[in-house]
Amino acid sequence: MTITTLIITFIFGSIIGSFLNVVIYRLNTNLSISKGHSKCFSCGRALGPKDLVPILSYLLFRGRCRTCKSKISVQYPLVEIFTGLMFVFVTYFYFFDNDIFIGNNIFNKGVIFSVLTQMSFFKYIFFVFDLSLLSLLICIFVYDFRHKIIPDSLVYTGVILMFVKIVISLIIFKIGWFGTIAVLLAGPIVALPFALFWLVSGGRWMGLGDAKLALIVGWGLGISYGYTALMYSFWIGAISIIGLTLIREMFDAFSTPNNALGIKIRFLHNKKLQYFARRLPSFKLRSEIPFGPFIIVAFYMIYFLGKNLLWWL
């Protein structure tokens, strides 16, 4: 992969990322996604080309509006950087790394890992499918993280994308009627535990949105990888919540010189670190924890590390 290809792919991805930010913002405010100019949330000034360069505008104006100096959320550059990187990795997997081509093993390894071995028309189609799906998952991640709900419009678009990719794969790979049924059932089978959690708890432990998301995971990764992803998502969730809670508690307990144990830990007195610790998400009630982001991180992990995780799974 040449450095030029890499840079162009990254720039293109970050532009898509800045579009994803618009989608996330406008979904929450019921504004049309395609109409109207973006404005500063504080002073309402219409943003010009100078303000809309992905990542660079944020860095150049130090995360503040040029006129009113109000702070711009770090979500904007983060989504742009992450989408850029995702585009680079997917491009690398499809066109520069031959190991990813596991072949037509759609039954065992799901539709995601069933990439055609030769350069073909369908490979480009799958490439675009994967970029769209992974972009959509970034939107769901951010939206669920911020608003603790998965919008139906996003998750159903993902379900449809995934299902169309499955139908195309089934037509190309011709895996027999037993395989076909297994592949089609993989989505509902992986979504079932979440649907049950939702049903049993009356929506308190798990939203129905998480079950819809699991449908995408099941169809994308197949039954065994789909369940592996679910297991990962529980672990990632547990580790992040425990980790965040520990960090906050640590700062709360030891950031003053006269704490209960009389211990002075120098780095906990750093004002900048304290500022970041206070801004970490805190979840006081179970119902405040969005689960979608953990499912999405698990999906990303298996998508990008799948072939390296294969041997011990």
Residue span 57-96 as binding mask against Zn ion, x where in contact by CB under 5 A, dash where not = --------x--x----------------------------
Binders of Zn ion: how many residues, by CB under 5 A? Answer: 5
Q: How far is residue 16's CA from residue 252's CA, in Å, rounded to a whole number?
A: 39
If binding is defined by CB under 5 A, does position 42 make contact with Zn ion? yes
* CA distances, 89 to each of 1, 22, 134, 153, 178 (Å): 11, 23, 11, 27, 34
- Choose between 68 and 265: whose C-beta lies nearer to Zn ion: 68
Q: Least CB distance from residue 65 to Zn ion, whole Å?
A: 3
For the chain, the distance separating the N- and C-terminal CA atoms, rounded to the nearest angstrom, is 29
Which of 35, 25, 30 is CA-nearest to residue 72?
Answer: 25
Q: Which of 6, 8, 27, 40 binds Zn ion (CB under 5 A)?
A: 40
Residues 264-283 that bind Zn ion (CB under 5 A): none
- Cα dihedral across residues 182, 188, 191, 197: positive or negative: negative
If binding is defined by CB under 5 A, does position 46 make contact with Zn ion? no
Q: Least CB distance from residue 39 to Zn ion, whole Å?
A: 8
Q: How far is residue 265's CA from residue 177's CA, in Å, rounded to a whole number?
A: 64
- Choose between 5 and 38: whose C-beta lies nearer to Zn ion: 38
- Choose between 47 and 289: whose C-beta lies nearer to Zn ion: 47
Helix then strand then coil, in percent of the chain rounded to 5, is 70, 0, 30
Q: Of the ranges 38-46, 145-153, 169-177, 255-263, which one interacts with Zn ion (CB under 5 A)?
A: 38-46
- Choose between 65 and 112: whose C-beta lies nearer to Zn ion: 65
**Burial grade of 110 (CB within 10 A; 0-12, 13-18, 19 or more):** buried
Q: Least CB distance from residue 286 to Zn ion, whole Å?
A: 37
Q: Which of 7, 31, 43, 164 binds Zn ion (CB under 5 A)?
A: 43
Q: Least CB distance from residue 31 to Zn ion, whole Å?
A: 17
Q: Helix crossing, 208-254 with 271-279: angle to 10°? A: 150
* CA distances, 177 to each of 35, 182, 221, 281 (Å): 46, 9, 19, 47
Beta bridge partners of 46: 39
Contact (Cβ atoms closer than 8 angstroms) between residue 208 and residue 195: yes
- Choose between 21 and 91: whose C-beta lies nearer to Zn ion: 21
If binding is defined by CB under 5 A, does position 230 make contact with Zn ion? no
- Choose between 26 and 148: whose C-beta lies nearer to Zn ion: 26
The identity of residue 142, as a single letter, is V
Please report, as ranges, the residues that interact with Zn ion according to CB under 5 A.
40, 42-43, 65, 68
